[in-house]
């Protein structure tokens, strides 16, 4: 079953390896999506996969890498029919 969530990560999450931390967390999964720096110094995370794999990556996001500080993550479900129209392959960071 495909499931999708989008989260906005607030805190000290840019310039500290946060996006690379997430990329490592998804390497052993089938998750696709992205982790993107936003102009307001937050990071947008899109995860598409099974609920179990997504929960694992969400935990990694909450923990963050060593020099990050995650103050909050606002997760929301994304309707999967909207995701199916996108040609998303792999997990990209930007």
At 83, the pLDDT band (50, 70, 90 cuts) reads low
pLDDT at residue number 21: 97
d(CA 19, CA 2): 23
Domains of the chain are: 3-88 (3.30.70.100)
Helices (H) and strands (E) in the chain, counts: 3, 5
pTM for this structure? 0.90
pLDDT band at residue 22 using 50, 70 and 90 as cut-offs: very high
**Residue with tokens 């479900």, as numbered in its chain:** 77
- Two tokens, residue 68: 């990050």
Residue found by looking up tokens 């937050």 in the block? 42
What are the catalytic residues? 19, 37
Q: Please state, as a whole number, how many other Cβ atoms lie within 10 Å of the Cβ of residue 19.
A: 22
């Amino acid at each position: 079953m495909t499931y999708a969530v989008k989260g906005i990560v607030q805190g000290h999450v840019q310039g500290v390896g946060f996006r690379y931390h997430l990329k490592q967390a998804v390497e052993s999964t089938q998750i696709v999506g992205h982790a993107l720096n936003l102009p307001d110094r937050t990071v947008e995370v899109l995860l598409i996969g099974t609920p179990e794999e997504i929960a694992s990556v969400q935990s990694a996001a909450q923990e963050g890498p060593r020099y990050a500080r995650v103050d909050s993550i606002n997760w929301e479900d994304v309707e999967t029919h909207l995701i199916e129209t996108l040609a998303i392959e792999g997990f990209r960071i930007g």
